[in-house]
Amino acid sequence: MSLQSLIEGWEGETVVVRHDRLCGAWILIAIHSTRLGPAGGGTRMRPYPDVETALRDACHLAESMTAKFALADFPMGGGKSVIMVPGKLDAGAREELLRRYGRLIHQLGGLFYTGPDIGTSPEDMDVVSETGTPYVFARTERAGGSGGSAAPTARGVYWCIRATLEHLFGDDQLGGQHVAVQGAGGVGSLLIRRLVEEGVRVTAADRDPEALAALEELAGVRTVSPEAIYGVVCDVFSPCATGGVLNARTIPRLRCRAVVGAANNQLATPEDALRLREAGILYAPDYAVNAGGAIAVVGIEAKGWTREQAEDRVRRMAHTLRELYHLAEARGITTEEAARRAVQARLAAARAPD
């Protein structure tokens, strides 16, 4: 698909495209909606096969950010930035690119606020904010930020897993359940630690052997290959790595009662929500589950929330998820459709931008 047809076919508001001649990177910022507030979304940095694929990813992820903030009733719009890098950059070139990127964010003058995502860290946000301030969130605590979004994201997933167990079994007390976690990176590893601390058995997989090795000292964690994680007999499958993992190939292999995870855009296609329901698997819409990081970070850094206030808001996501489960049952629709309707209602109730 060409850039032209991608942009023409997208329902979002604005796309910012910058080719960085100095290092060959492409910076693609997708602003999906500013109806609820300025657009916010992380910065994903990685290679892609081509610019079209990178832009499609940015647009799709930006749309999820709109849904995430709307569902959490947080006054921000949805955007996402993708920096498509031409392979691995050396540390100096990478920092310079991040500074040029910060300058672009600054020039946008508040249209887009950013933070870390796959391929970028709170330390990177410190560098971006040198030129991009005040539009950069989730910097390190050393630099005056709230210290990253992985921990509140993991806590949000944790509360949503409990709400899901309660919905399925009538009891949210942890102990003895089994959760299969796909991805032991920033969010996945924190989630795994919390779950095993509370007596949950965890089976984990990650493409990076080092990430798995770091879990080996934890009692209660078993590791399997990336392919085997789908077939683990468990209560909850928790995708905490990349998107598109729930699809026609993987769903028939799942042996879980529910899917509750942190990854963005878990469904490969909208039909996969139906496929999950037909398989008898309760799906927690990803953007209902993984909003904790964005909400806590922006709340603390831009709204002056205390950490306790942020934690309250993160816990409230589990309540919203329970409501979605009930709505889906009452209406005979998928949980994804229930979430989509809730998002549409929030957006419709807001004043259209001038």
Q: Active-site residues: which are they?
A: 80
Least separation, in Å, of the C-beta of 109 and ligand PPY? 17
Which of the ranges 22-30, 40-48, 99-107, 266-274 carries the binding residues for ligand PPY, by CB under 6 A? 40-48
In the numeric block, which tokens belong to residue 333? 């629709």
Nearest to 296, CA basis, from 145, 121, 78, 131:
145
Which structure tokens are listed for 66? Answer: 């709109």
Q: Give the CA-trace dihedral at 54, 57, 62, 63, to 10 degrees.
A: 140
Identify which of residues 26 and 113 has a Cβ nearer to ligand PPY in the complex.
Answer: 113
Q: Is 111 helix (H, G, I), strand (E, B) or coil?
A: coil
Report residue 24 as tokens: 């060959």
* 97 touches ligand PPY by CB under 6 A: no
From 24-32, 225-233, 291-299, 306-314, span contacting ligand PPY (CB under 6 A): 291-299
Exactly one of 264, 266, 334, 335 binds ligand PPY (CB under 6 A); that residue is: 264
User: Does 296 engage in binding with ligand PPY (CB under 6 A)?
Assistant: no
Closer to ligand PPY by Cβ: residue 235 or 286: 286
* Residue 69 binding ligand PPY, by CB under 6 A: no
Are residues 271 and 199 in contact, defined by beta-carbon separation less than 8 angstroms? no
Could you tell me which stretch among 201-209, 212-220, 290-298, 320-328 binds ligand PPY (CB under 6 A)? 290-298
Cα angle: 17, vertex 78, 13; to 5 degrees:
55
| Token representation of residue 220 | 């209660």
Q: For residues 36 and 232, which CB has a smaller minimum distance to ligand PPY in the complex? A: 36
Helices (H) and strands (E) in the chain, counts: 12, 11
285 contact partners, CB below 8 Å, separation of at least 6: 324, 335, 336, 338, 339
Query: Residue 137, interface with ligand PPY (CB under 6 A)?
Result: yes
Q: Of residues 127, 234, 251, 298, which one binds ligand PPY by CB under 6 A?
A: 298
* Interacting residue with ligand PPY among 104, 187, 254, 294 (CB under 6 A): 294
> Where along the sequence are the contacts to ligand PPY (CB under 6 A)?
40-42, 65, 113, 115, 117, 137-138, 149, 264, 290, 293-294, 297-298
